[in-house]
Amino acid sequence: MRGVSKQYRGILLPLLGCVAFAVYWLAFGWQPMDRAELPLAALIHSAAGRSDFVDWAIIFFNRWWGEAVCVVLIYVSFLLVATRSTPEGEDRRRILGFSAVIFATWVVANFVGQDLIEPSVARESPAFLLGDGFTDLAVLHDTKVKVRSANSFPSNHGTVFMLVFTMSLYRYGRNAWLLLPVATLLSLPRCFTGAHWVGDSLVGSLLMTWLISASVMTTPLRKVVDRIEEIAVATLPDWLSGSTDYSLDPAPT
C-alpha cells in the first residue's frame, strides 16, 4: 500500500487544489469571483470599440486562423524551452515524441473541460455583467465572433496553452516557467470580446491541466511517455536528432 501511495503522491497537491476550489464553488457559487474579477474584465474589454484596428485584431485572434497563429506561437515557445532544457548530447527527437504526448493529453483535457466541467458548473461570461460597458463586436462590425457564453469555465483556449506549460514544467523543470506568461497572454483574446473571464484560464484551465499533467507525468503513466519518446528516437530521421555525428550509409560502388 505504501508503494502505491508513493507512486501517486505527485498528484496530491494539484488534486487538493482542485478539491479546494470545488468546495469553494459549492459553498459560494460564482458571485464572489465574478465581483472580484469584474473590474479586470471591464479594463480588458475597454479596448473593444475604441479603434477599428484594435477591434479587427481582437476579431482576428478569435477566429480559427488567429487561433492557429496562437497555437503556432505556443508551440514555437515550447520548442525554444525544450531545446534550451535538453542536455547536450541528448537526442532531440525526444522533444518531438513529447510533443505527441502533449497533443494526446490535450485531447483528454479538452474533453474533460468542454464536455464534463463546463456543462456542470455553468459560469456565465463577463459579457452578461458588464452592462453599459459591454461592446458587442459582433454587432458593431456585423461579423461573427464569440462575445458571450453561458459556460465559460474553464477556457478551451486556456486549456491548450496552459497544458503546454504544465506538461513542460514536469518535463523540463524551471525553464518551463517562461511559458506561463506566453500561455496567459495567448489566452486573452476571448477576454477582450467579453466571452471569458481571466479566471477561466488562470484558475479553471490552469488547475485542470495541472492535475491532468501531474497524472501523466508523476504516476506510472510516465513510463508510457518515456516509451513514446523512445519510439520517436527509433523511427524519426537521424537529421532531427540535433547531432552532427550521425553518418549515412555509404553509396554503393
Per run of 10 residues, the mean pLDDT along the chain (length 253 residues) is 67 95 95 95 93 95 93 96 90 95 96 93 93 92 92 92 96 94 93 94 94 95 96 93 57 40
Indicate the domain borders of the chain: 11-237
Q: Could you tell me the three cell numbers for 191?
A: 477576454
Calpha distance 104→101 (Å, rounded) = 5
What integer pLDDT is reported at residue 245 of this predicted model? 56
Angle at 51 between CA 49 and CA 55, to 5 degrees: 65
Q: Which of 227, 189, 239 is nearest to 57 (CA)?
A: 189
The pLDDT assigned to 132 comes to 87
Closest CA to 128 of 38, 1, 67, 249: 38
Confidence at residue 229, expressed as pLDDT on a 0 to 100 scale: 96
Rounded-to-integer distance, Cα 15 and Cα 3, Å: 19
208: cell is 485542470
Count CB neighbours of 64 within 10 A: 7
Peptide bond before residue 154 is cis, with ω within 30 degrees of 0: yes
Q: If you classify domain 11-237 with CATH, what class do you get? A: mainly alpha
Q: Which amino acid is at 210?
A: W
Report how far residue 201's alpha carbon sits from residue 184's, in angstroms, rounded to the nearest whole number.
Answer: 8
Angle at 69 between CA 191 and CA 160, to 5 degrees: 60
- 183 and 155 Cβ atoms separated by less than 8 Å: no
Say what the pLDDT of residue 5 is. Answer: 65
Q: Which residues contact 54 (CB under 8 A, 6 or more apart)?
A: 47, 48
Q: What is the pLDDT of residue 242?
A: 77
Return the pLDDT at 244. 57
Q: What is the pLDDT of residue 253?
A: 36
Task: At 155, give phi and psi (nearest 5°).
Answer: -80, 130
